[in-house]
Amino acid sequence: MPPSISLPATLITPPLQGACDVVVVNYNAGEFLRACVESAFAAGASTVIVVDNNSRDCSLATVEQCHKVDDSLIIVRNASNLGFAAACNIGTRYSAAPHILFLNPDTVLSSDALGGLIDTLNSSPSIGMVGGFLCNPDGSEQPGGRRVFPTPQRALLRAFGLSRLTRFFPAAFADFLLHKDPVPAGPVEVDAISGACMLVKREAMDMVGLWDEGYFLHCEDLDWCMRFGHSGWKIMFVPCARITHEVGVCSRNRPYFVEWHKHLGMLRFYRKFFRHRYPILLWGGVVLAVWFRFSLVVARHAVRQLRRSAEARKHA
């Protein structure tokens, strides 16, 4: 079913060469969405395109109260939750800018973040994608903003806590997340960045292709980074571009749904890019390990819910 759109489906006039459109995929982000949109305009976005995956909260209403829906703000209302990758692709089709920033609705850009990202993206014709310094509200760096590719081995080591041995055996137990490494003084090349804040060149995107809609939620950003790298485009981490990120605003009320799709995404990512490296028995072990991890995560969520329910009854 096609999305319901708040504007006539007309093409946007191509903006100036340095212009940047921002695509925000929303799902029940509440007041966070308005703060995200306001920060994007304050940072210099040409157009903000909000693609809503059938939210049931007040998030769109809060944005519409503060910003007129016109050529600079486009709201696309999907009739159902199509997933993150599909919604990103829908947003892309409403943009004609040479740069597109994909931004989570629970993020806030610092005033100079977008300029720093664009400067780095345009500093070399070989750079196709850049990401900024994702930080918690207290200013500490979040995991995922800069990383190497999580091979099945690296992912399993982290999942079962063995990556803590990295400081003793760095070659054998290396983590794929780099947030514990010293923050670089300037932009550095990395394997992958986070889909929470991902700025791309249109020419690179045209070469690589759109997001893989086979992912519903999680790992689609790793997939895109992998494909950018395979196509010869560099990916950069820009530490001066700070983005505050409230993790999990859109997903915290559906932990089992989110974890199910997260683990499906893991398997799709591994199957696409690593399956050919493994004999069938070892690949079977990878699949079993992913679902074993899923069972542990589900059990952990269930225990937490039981504890919260017990506490609520105690104080009732």
pLDDT of residue 16: 43
- Report which of residues 70 and 137 the model is more confident about: 137
The domain in which residue 133 lies consists of 4-144+179-245
Question: What pLDDT was estimated at residue 159?
Answer: 60
Q: Are residues 80 and 198 in the same domain?
A: yes
- Report the interhelical angle of 152-159 vs 280-315 (nearest 10°): 30
Domain boundary among 199, 215, 245: 245
pLDDT at 3 (0 to 100): 42
166 in a domain, yes or no? no
What pLDDT, on the 0 to 100 scale, is given for residue 18? 60
Count: domains in the chain: 2
Looking at the structure, tell me whether residues 132 and 276 fall in a common domain. no
Whether residue 269 is found in the same domain as residue 139: no
Percent of all residues in the chain with a pLDDT value above 90, rounded to a whole number: 59
Considering 142-156, 192-206, 249-263, the range whose residues carry the highest mean pLDDT is 192-206
Q: Are residues 192 and 308 in the same domain?
A: no
Residue 245: in which H helix or E strand, if any?
strand 234-245
Q: Please compute the mean of the pLDDT values over residues 221-246 and round it to a whole number.
A: 97
Q: What CATH number is attached to the domain comprising 53?
A: 3.90.550.10
Rg (CA), the chain: 20
**103-128, pLDDT tens digit by residue?**
999 999 999 999 999 999 999 999 99
Query: Of 188, 211, 245, which residue sits at a domain end?
Result: 245
Least confident of 48-57, 91-100, 295-304: 295-304
Q: Helices 255-273 and 220-230 sit at what angle, rounded to 10 degrees?
A: 20
Write down which residue in 214, 245, 276 finishes a domain: 245
26 domain-assigned: yes
Asked whether residue 280 carries a pLDDT value surpassing 60, the answer given is: yes
Return the SS3 of 108: strand
SS3 63: helix
Across the range 75-99, mean pLDDT stands at 97
Q: Is 118 in the same domain as 239?
A: yes
Task: Find, among 87, 79, 29, 23, the residue nearest to 58 by Cα.
Answer: 29
Exposed / middle / buried, residue 242 (Cβ in 10 Å: 0-12, 13-18, 19+): buried
Convert the pLDDT of each residue in 157-174 to its tens digit.
656 565 565 565 454 445
